[in-house]
Structure 1
Amino acid sequence: MTKSLAPAPEPAAPRPRRWRDSKKLDQWIAFWTVPVFFSLFGLVFVPLSWMMPPRSPSAPQSEIVEFMQSPNLLIACVILTLAFGMAPISNACYLNQIRRMSVSPVLRYSLMAGAMTGTIVGMLFPMFCFGLGAFRPGYDPAILAMLYDFGYLAFIGSLGCFCIMWMAFGLAIILDQNNVLPKWLGYYTVWQYVTELMAAPVWIAKSGPFAWDGLMTFWFAMALYVPWQIIVYLCIYRAIKNQPEDELDNVDLGPRVAA
């Protein structure tokens, strides 16, 4: 007699991959902190403290004292103190993509060093200057005027740090043979940050287009910078999305077989 053969069991359907199993999860977490940081940064410098748009370097002393003694400056400093730690995370997203490029690590290190220097001078110094002015009432008006100048000159006049930093980023894109980011973004980046050299005259001009609140030094630079920053952000998003998983250094997230 022939024995009836039982049908072979069907292979189990593969378990759907959970979002936390993604090898890019850490990159996406870092990536999405960027809009959070810039939103808080804008909140601090614009509607909360009105540090930006920059006030005039030739403002009368009474206006400077009123601004520097505003209690909103202290609230702004509290928020910025809690938020500025996210700035290095956004730079880490850029550094991780440069690491994939066929360029020398010197460009990556240049961006890293420039980011650290620029953050200290361009963000922490202004925060301490404006916050210190509001911390204790009764400061001499001349001291408040000095802190006012120091804060704005540090914020607007420190763009050389960022210029070198982003020049390294642009050159890395241009020289890369792996096409991690589009070449046009590299040329756009270099051109954008060459224009930042127009901030140098803020140390000389107290009025006109090259003062720290001037048409060329601030408004023209912002008209170029804001679209560029959004475009870079979108290009980094595509680079992370298109990065093959076999390029990642993460540990294997597959199921472990018990010995």
Structure 2
Amino acid sequence: MVPNKLKWYRNKKLDQWICFWTVPFFYTLFGIIFVPLSWMMPPRSPNNELAQIVEFMQSQNLLIATTLLILSIGLAAVANACYAIQMRRMSVSPAFRIAFIMGSVAGCIVGCLFPMFCFGLGAFRPDYDPKILAMLYDFGYLSFIGSLGCFCIMWSMLGLAIILDKNRILPKWLGYYTVWQYMTELFAATVWIAKTGPFAWDGVMAFWFNMVLYVPWQIIIYYQIFLAIKNQPDSELGNADIASSGPATGATA
């Protein structure tokens, strides 16, 4: 008999739970990097004076933030795997899951790594010409906020999979919420046109409206993923059986 203190180790969902509980850690660290550490978010104005831009771009905190991000960004893949494994259980084409994964890769590179590299690069060499720093400043914010469309394919695949799924792995209302959430990200395209007002990168429509929907959605969907893992029967896990001790039978030299 396996001692009680060891039974958790033989839980077939242990791998999923390990992946799942890295998610709140990652998003907490993500928030610390982009808000109190770098003060990149909430977004600074595209109309800041050159002196304000230079002061921000030469902050040593940007180097610390960039270092932490490149050390932890791989956890985003673990977070997205939690979605993908539940999408695998849905009665939809594998194309949805593959498109979801590919969309997450594109979004992570363009919408996360690029901007942080731009801001970190500005702090790496304090002797950069102020106009170069201003260009990196624009590049960073336009990449971070202006590329939210990269995530549209990712979230649309998830939302449509939930709506079309006949196995009801996740509640159908969550699919509609997901579709509505990613539709608001299309407003981000306006940041390439508007430098002031609600459609600028710090504007009500291009940034804040999306955040009001995105933040609670992110919390809600991970709670639903938690319930999906909890209720998933062992027969659907697809884990390899634990090999019995001793040499395999029928092995040849």
TM-score w.r.t. structure 1 length? Answer: 0.92
Cross-structure match for 2:100: 111
Cross-structure match for 2:145: 156
Q: Distance in 1 between matches of 2:2 and 2:196?
A: 68
Q: Distance in 2 between matches of 1:32 and 1:26?
A: 10
8 Å CA contact 1:23–1:253 kept in 2: the answer is no
- Asked which structure has the greater CA Rg, the reply is 1
Q: Distance in 2 between matches of 1:136 and 1:36?
A: 31
Matched, 1:122 2:111: yes
Report how many aligned residue pairs link the two structures.
Answer: 247
User: Which residue of 212, 221, 225 maps to 2:214?
Assistant: 225
Query: How well do the aligned residues superpose, as a CA RMSD in angstroms?
Result: 1.5
Deviations 1:117-151 (A, max 9, x none): 00000111011100000001110000000000000
User: Which residue of 208, 214, 232 maps to 2:203?
Assistant: 214
8 Å CA contact 2:184–2:209 kept in 1: the answer is no
Q: CA deviation at 1:108?
A: 0.5
8 Å CA contact 1:21–1:253 kept in 2: the answer is no
8 Å CA contact 2:118–2:139 kept in 1: the answer is yes
Cross-structure match for 2:179: 190
8 Å CA contact 1:77–1:127 kept in 2: the answer is yes
User: Which residue of 46, 53, 68 maps to 1:79?
Assistant: 68
TM-score w.r.t. structure 2 length? Answer: 0.94
Q: Distance in 2 between matches of 1:110 and 1:95?
A: 10
Cross-structure match for 2:77: 88
Paired residue secondary structure (1:18)? helix
Matched, 1:40 2:33: no
Q: Distance in 2 between matches of 1:111 and 1:205?
A: 30
Report percent identity of matched pairs: 68
Paired residue secondary structure (1:251)? coil
Q: CA deviation at 1:248?
A: 1.1
Q: Distance in 2 between matches of 1:240 and 1:191?
A: 24
Which 4+ residue blocks in structure 1 deviate beyond 3 angstroms?
13-17, 253-259
Q: Distance in 1 between matches of 2:36 and 2:108?
A: 21
Cross-structure match for 1:199: 188
AA aligned opposite 1:194: M
Q: Distance in 2 between matches of 1:186 and 1:95?
A: 15
Q: Distance in 1 between matches of 2:216 and 2:78?
A: 21
